[in-house]
Structure 1
Amino acid sequence: MKNKLMSLSVLVFFVPAIILSVVMWRDYTNEIGRSVTYTKQVKGIYYLDNGKKVLAVAESSSGLEGLLYDVGSRQIRKEIPLDSDMFRQYRASYQQDKLVIATKSSSNDLRVYVIDSAGNSKELALSTIPMPSYLESDAHLWRGRLVFAGGSKVFEYDLIAEVEGTKLQTVRLNTLKKLTSRPVYMDEVMNSYQPDEVPMFKLDLKNGKHAYIGGILGSKGQLAVYEEAGDDPFDSDKKALKAIAKGVGIDPTRLMRVDSNYPKQAYFYNAITGNTAGKVPLPADLYQAELYAVNEQEILIVGTTSKDAVDGTEAAYLYNERTKKSVDATPLAKQLAKEERVSGEIEVYKQIDDSRIYYVNPSRSGGWLDLANGEMQVLTKPEVESWQHEPQSDKPSLEGFMDYIKTWNAIVINWLVWLLIPIAMILFVTLVPRVIRSRVQRQLRNGIILHGKLVNIRETGMLVNNQPMVLFTVQFNYEGMQRKVDIRKVVSYLESPRVGDPVVISYNPRKNKAIFVTETDLQPDLNDQQVIQGAILRHIIREGSYGRAQGLLLQFEADQQTFEIPVIQPQGFDYRLGERADLIQIGGGVRLLRYGNAPEWSADEQVQLEGEVVAVSKCPLHSQGKTVMLMELSVEAEGRRLQKTSSPYVPPEVAVEVGTRIPISMPRKELQKELRLLKGKQGSAVVETVYYRGTVGERPYAEIIAERNGQRYRIEQSIEPLYGIQPGDELWMAYDEASMEATMIRYASNS
């Protein structure tokens, strides 16, 4: 009843806010014609639609944004959100008349957007490729291709991804059959993505050997591989270069580079022998040259017509390495000479079948040159940024509405006041229970959880909110002695506690005081939680073993903080230094949320259940003053009784006995799958293979192939780490003969 009255009160206060919202919107629509006052900083200018439109990549409050403008009218046609982390880095490339933009998202994953001239955006990577470091160090542009060295939550770098022709291809290093051992470290061969080099990476293998892989994919999407065979290091590097070049379709004997000596002309050279192979044949000699690889066939050579740049004029030729023909691109050279260039910052793009060649100087401008007719167009950053202040159309927009609110006129102020009143009421109703709960949690931390029973109940004669204050006497055992304690509590007339009822209390022996504890009190406050993503495992401390399992204390590092988490590691599963995990802080404690490639379940996908302890035993594994308790639980879900095992580290002040009820969280899909399979057949099976994908919480997540009567069944679920699972083990499972799915019900052998 109180909640209904509160909801009605809040609704009454919202009525003026709703009325003022309508008035404010009408006032805003009458002022729509004005320009925006906030200027978004442009980071790059890219032409589309044969120069009729331009896409400006700009910084926004939430990351990056693509602003698509009509060049003629300077009107914005579309705003395209580009998810980005705090560093606002991106890489771009023209591919098939579209613009491909790659960013590192706010969740540290690769995002790849393909944007056409109409502003339609299609995403390729869909956050499936984690980026371990800065985007600018993990992303490479090579002759129109975008190449990424990515990773997973298990390994920092374990894949190569490439976008060519607006198509994304990915190759994982652990699938390379030519390697004799798995890679443990990968690094780009220095400057190998320059026009005069063969792009490739160097790998350190687990067995101590070294290998090389191509920095781009071959014509069939394969990754070129070369592994050292104990050769002389110099010979090995040459053999690797030759093998990788062949695998990616590059002729290493006819690469192009600029002579480092005066007057710096463009030469062909043989990367195998290191010898030059003659000057690049151009219609006229160019000196003080610079090379820009624009696609797989063409290189732009920019320079001056005289050996001394002061005496000559700027000139440029687009040289086709396949046809060995050149096209004059001098207007572009003259424009580039005007730019305040930062070394390596300017990027040049061109599609092989297009006469337009594009350039982008992120710090200054962007433009294009039509090689067929000499037409050229250039836009500077200040020009494009000024378009944000051009009078726009008469359509309402979120940006315009936010500008209207910033005027702080009388309507806006009244609207905010009447909006804040109900919001404050909601916050009060929400926060007060949390304050009370925080006080209870503090008392729980200072006490010891014990089971007892009521031996006396009497009213004190005091009323609180017309509810009686009752004095309860609780009898319990502590340190082998039977004790009693009095607890005062306000009780509703609807409650009917009786002498002899079992209760759970938190007892403070120092003060000889106690409070009643409910199941809700024992559960962590899910609102007071923080997820720590990408924590790095720095140290592993071994703290004993029991059966197949080992007790470990994992030390993770994130945001310059160290977090210690005790875990149980089953035989066959390894936590590895340098790998990453997601942690969760709840009520002052830290636990593993996810490690490795195990499925990631959101809070909305979790089902909260309650398990009753039917058997409990201590295990000789200890960490941080806590002891592992092996508990057999009976869990009721949708009318069925499930048997579960759990082996948490339990502090000494928490008493776990048969009959104790424990909160349990399970992924909804896993629970539904288990309930579905339990309706079918059951029987024993023998484990053939086990593959651990990581952990869900502290429980390893395994993919198991089990054989029964000649049939193989697939099991995917988290397992009890204290038992583990290995090939040859027997287990009892529920299975479906049609889908060949199964779920493990209990361990038939665990030693």
Structure 2
Amino acid sequence: MKRIPVIFLRYIVFFIPAIILSVLVWNHYQDDLSAGKVTEYDIKRMFTFDEGKRVVSAVSKNQQLHFAMYDPQSGKRISEWTTASDSFNEMLPSIQGNHLLIALKNKDEQLLIEKLSPSGAKKELVKQNLQIPSFLKTNTYQWNGRLVFTGEMEGAAAVLGELKNGQFHVHNLSELKLPARPVSIDVVMNSFRGQTPFPMFELTLKNDQKAYVSGISNEKHQLGVYVSKSAEPFSLIEDKVVQQLKKTIGSSQNVAVAVESNYPKRPRKVDAEGRLGEVVPTPKPMYQTFIYQLNEEEVLLLGSTAKDEAQGKLTGYIYNHRTNKATSASKLSQSLSYETLQKEDLSFHKNVKSNWLYYSLGNQLTGAFEAKSKQLKEFPLQKVISIENASPAHQTSVDTFIQYVMKGGPLILNWAIWIFIPLLLFVLAIFLPPILRLVRKNKIKDSVTLEANIVSVKETGTYINEQPLVNMQLQFQYDGRNIEKAVKTVVSYTQIPKPGQRIAILYNPKKKKAMLLKEGDFSQPSEPKFIKDAILRNIESYGTVGRGTVLSLTFEADQKRYTIPMIQAAGFEFRTGEKADLVDINGQLKMAAYGHEVRNRSGKDVTLTGTIQRVKQYPVTIHDQKPIMLDVTVSSGDQSITKTVSQFIPDHMQVAPGTQITMQTKQEELDKEISLMQEKQGSAKVTHVTFSGVIGNQPLAIIQIEREGVMYEVKQPIDPITSVLPGDELWVAYHEMTRQAAIVKYASI
């Protein structure tokens, strides 16, 4: 009876790994659910249709577009699907009838149009392989609710694709009655912006003649055609071309309203000859107007109530040029701003016989406006994100946990093993004590305790918890013979063993292997010790490295003095009397944060593991340490970025490419930088540089840059050796909407 509790106590110890691993598995499962949730950087576009009862979101994940359609009121997901879009994830919407049509490019650069119904049904409209040679937006045009595409097909160098009335029609221009086959197609300048009564394209024929075709077709899907008999420019024969094309397509698609070119840019009617006539009769005057063609009868007018838009308010009207009536859309204008009217990804859609107007502003906003009742259904980005993340796939449940376990991985494998082990021990419990005693007896029998002399200590280049893994060469005597063996172990910088020291080891003469008797003889990594509010008392200069200056900084806190080496970036200056936060990691003192803004910044701290790609050393030594500049690749999830950082390392230490090091940052800053790295990249010129403080060894810079006349802001830690000065050329990743950027490469150095 007394034996059972003893066996049970020994057995229950084996549940400890299972319990620990279960906690780790559960935490990792929760992290996996969170990692799968959608963020504002994932959503590419949002669309609304079916009187605001349906919202469609397009999320970019794993180089694919994941679409979801749902009821925004209930949050219920109606349908979801994945589209293998091209790398730019361009998409253009059109609402025709009660269907949402989305145009994309697939991975083979071919046009793809998906037709969505409110029930969640999806249909692909394009059957021919219409090749889009450039960007989708470059080769796509909008006119009165239609989408027009230019591209190529096998055997045809010029093809028009037309999406109208919910159907897609292909016009092979090689099949038109032309004196020679067309070899290229170009849009007549500003033709889709009201420069001509209706859109037109210019064809270059094989025999060098010019021909003109209408950008839209008539009810029989026929294009208007005009063949130029001479080399006259379009401006001289425009009237002839218009009259000829109008015979085929009629005048119902003519531009009816245009904006006067001069201040204050009021909307005016366009007469039959294409001249501007009287001002559109809106209830209240409009200025600085933007016109959005909705359909064959209506246009949306958005503009300012004052001649100077900075002094007025945004207002809007839906104007029907056939009935000469204007319906107020001022409630819609309250959701927009004058600045947003200039964005390329702002679009409006309305069917002639419907009172509903739909709009989409990239991934920021989508909605539906009912012109008769003035009802507005609006869905900003955060609302769409909350609906997306309310999906059962992101919630804690038996199903999602089973799906997580089925993914496998080292953690799940270890957890399964340690769950299985205690169950197996129920059977083996009676045999385990004698087995363990036998193993222990064999170890005592086969190994002997000896004292060894340390001959040499060399670093391997590998780091575990920021501590070096060293290779110790040991020399000892056994059975009258001198024996040398190598042992690897992790040590602290402050307690690196020295040649000549004596150390206790275990030696197995049968296996001829040696091991340290007690790893506890060496200090284990301890928790970092932070020294808050240290005051900078003294600054000493030790020369320059690159653009930076090597300094020795002496801080005082609680009547104690601390000295650390630091590199001061060009344009930045440490000042005595300023406060900093220092950190002591296993006896090695480092800067944690300097400057009021940096020391008080919020956010979640994360520790990343990086792999060194390039190392540059400098012939400067300060406090037995030397500065080095590293190119380090760090990863977060399936994304990785390369950063240039400078550090001080012990003078005797060597660092080689391939070595792993740890870095600390804020999760929000990492997410922002990774997100920007997915955007467009190019060169930019630095116009202004200021600093907010220092994070670790790197100053936090606020850099104003100019690219193609547009100003962007970079806010990130920079390498102090390289530094950034006005006039430098940088290679940056930039977001055109937010005007935020991140440094990819210091191009000036």
What range is the shorter-chain TM-score in?
Answer: 0.3 to 0.5
Instruction: Using structure 2 for the length normalisation, give the TM-score.
Output: 0.48
Instruction: Using structure 1 for the length normalisation, give the TM-score.
Output: 0.47
